[in-house]
Amino acid sequence: MRDLSYAAVMGRKNEIMKASMGMDYNAFIHSPIAFDYERMMRDTGYSLDDVMRIQSDTKVGQTPLFELKNLTEAVRAFAEPGKGARIFVKDEAANASGSFKARRASISAFEAQKKGYQGMAAATSGNYGAAVASQAAMRNLKCIILQEVFDSKGVGQPEIVEKSRACEAYGAEVQRLSVGPELFYQLLMTLEETGFFNASLYTPFGIKGVETLGFEIAQQVQARCGQAPDAVVITHAGGGNLTGTARGLLAAGCDRTRIVACSVDLGGLHMASDADFNRKSFTTGHTGFGVPFATWPDRVDVPRNAARSLRYMDEYQLVSQGEVFFVTELLTKLEGLERGPAGNTSLTAAVTLARQMDCDQIVVVQETEYTGAGKHHNRQLSFARENGIEVRVGDPAGNVPGRTIVIPERLEQVRGKVQDMDRLRHSYLKNAAKAHPVSLWDESDHAFLAADLKKDVAWVKQAVQELG
């Protein structure tokens, strides 16, 4: 008889993970904080060419790149003379399942089939679940998706309910949970019971799948404009989107392209709070995931997270919910593209960046996602009103997460704000010190931390001294 207590199942975590993925993380780990990241990525066994070939077999990749000429002109109308960069968008809604997450799921599905697993399982709030279910269907694999859908009153967010429906449409079994700490415990139990492949968001297979997105952006911009993109804006939550895209850009030689993360500011709301669960209109791409995962990536369902956002991030922009809803509608009205608000988070930041950049520069929004039903911004705004949140038009500086959503009156009111990157790095170091006392850090630990923070060893040692 298996001991199914929470402590016992979590105690078997590494054993379950090894069996459900065929990867021994112990081969890479040096200490509680340091591991050989690049070796872990290489040991997937997949080159960029391999990934492209695999994805082309299951309706993934080579999505179109559109120049948003009307939106660019709208920005130039209020930008300073000579400012207003050209805005492009990579339309990832063209992938099977309607988002870039199909890239992540494609390699996990291929790996699962190659290794003889009968099915795949993943814990996710939405788009990734649909992507896993879609890719599993094409590989003749069974699929189980675990989702946090409801609060304790049984009320589900429309966006998550819509994603749950999509998972079932692709043939997945969906286990719906209420918000709380049970999600990863339930995933471990499911993996152990079924023997399915762990299609976690945070495996090296998933990150390898996203690398093609960055590589395609580099190729397409170079072919269209004869230059590399000056900035690529990436919606940031758990970090895999940014990590994979940045690695793909670097593989294409775009080492001077600025990597800009963007999240919806949900400061003051706790993502594991039952009371706050339905008081937010965004289920991903927000600071509730973006900040914790940036400042300590290894808070996940695998022994080491392959998504390391601070390793690649140059800048971190925050935008309000109202600003994203405004830009979502503007994209439809100006460019004839109706896409989901979550993917338009980075488009909102691109507006702010473009007005500051020269008119001959290029900023690329690296993804879109499909919309419809519960994912549509009008339904999300209706749900906010149903939960007592004031929705009004005005200055978005008045936005208070969980209380008010203020939609701008004019595009020039879309301003966003910049996160303090060093503050994030210091938070990371504090978390590293909790995981492994500073007195025990050796040269390998310092080198790993420097790489993970996009700094040098001298900076890490100085920062640790300053933090005491």
Q: What confidence tens digit (pLDDT) does each residue in 406-452 have?
A: 999 999 999 999 999 999 999 999 999 999 999 999 999 999 999 99
Q: Is the dihedral of CA 189, 194, 197, 201 positive or negative?
A: negative
178 near 148, Cβ under 8 Å? yes
Q: Are residues 152 and 230 in the same domain?
A: no
**CB of 72 closer than 8 Å to CB of 353:** no
Question: Is 319 part of a structural domain of the chain?
Answer: yes
Q: Do 143 and 153 fall into the same domain?
A: yes
Q: What number is the average pLDDT over the span 377-387?
A: 93
Q: Looking at the structure, do residues 15 and 81 belong to the same domain, yes or no?
A: no
Q: Tokens at residue 219, please?
A: 């190729």
The count of structural domains within the chain is 3
Q: How much is the average pLDDT of 378-393?
A: 94
Q: Which of 201, 236, 269 is the endpoint of a domain?
A: 201
Per the rule left: phi > 0, alpha: psi between -120 and 50, beta: everything else, 116 is left
Q: Is residue 393 included in any domain, yes or no?
A: yes
Q: Is the pLDDT of residue 351 over 90?
A: yes
Task: Indicate if the pLDDT at residue 272 is higher than 80.
Answer: no
* 449 contacts 296 by C-beta, under 8 angstroms: no
Do 89 and 103 lie in one domain? The reply is no
CA distance 391 to 416: 18
405's CB contacts (< 8 A; 6+ apart) are: 281, 320, 321, 322, 325, 381, 384, 389, 390, 391, 392, 399
| pLDDT the model gives residue 136 | 98
Q: How is residue 64 annotated by DSSP? A: -
How confident is the model at residue 180, as a pLDDT?
Answer: 76
Query: How many whole angstroms separate alpha carbon 54 and alpha carbon 276?
Result: 40
Is pLDDT at 468 greater than 90 in this prediction?
A: no
Please write the tens of the pLDDT for every residue from 158-168: 888 999 999 99
How many angstroms separate the CA atoms of 123 and 329, rounded? 31
Residues 301 and 191 in one domain: no
pLDDT of 33 reads: 97
Q: Which domain holds residue 103?
A: 6-54+99-201
The residues, any chain, with a CB within 8 Å of residue 218's CB and separated by 6 or more, are 228, 229, 248, 249, 252, 253, 254, 257
pTM, rounded to two decimals: 0.96
Q: Are residues 154 and 230 in the same domain?
A: no
Residue 462 lies in a domain: yes
* DSSP run (H or E) holding 89: strand 86-90
pLDDT digits (tens, 9 = 90+) for 35-88: 999 999 999 999 999 999 999 999 999 999 999 999 999 999 999 999 999 999
Is residue 22 packed enough to be buried (19+ CB in 10 Å), middle (13-18) or exposed (0-12)? middle
User: 274 and 392: one domain?
Assistant: yes
Rounded mean pLDDT of the chain? 95
In the chain, what percentage of residues exceed pLDDT 70? Answer: 100
DSSP letter string over 37-61?
HHHHHHTT---HHHHHHHHHHTT-S
* pLDDT given for residue 282 in this prediction: 86
Q: Give per-residue pLDDT as tens, 17-27.
A: 889 988 889 99
More confident residue, 313 or 126: 313
364-385 b/e (C-beta count within 10 Å ≥ 16 → b): bbbbbbbbeebbbbebbbebbe
What confidence tier does 278 reach under pLDDT thresholds 50, 70, 90? confident
Q: In the listed set 182, 201, 220, which residue is the last one of a domain according to the structure?
A: 201
- Residue 157 is assigned to a structural domain of this protein: yes
The residue behind tokens 């039952």 is: 274
Pick from 56-65, 72-81, 184-193, 314-323: least confident: 184-193
pLDDT at 8: 92
Percent of the chain residues past pLDDT 90, beyond the cut: 82
142, 79: one domain: no
Please give the biggest Cα pair distance in the chain: 73
Residue 1 predicted with pLDDT over 80: no
**263 and 130 in one domain?**
no
Same-domain status, 74 and 159: no
Mean pLDDT of 222-238: 97
Q: Assess whether 132 and 253 both reside in one domain.
A: no
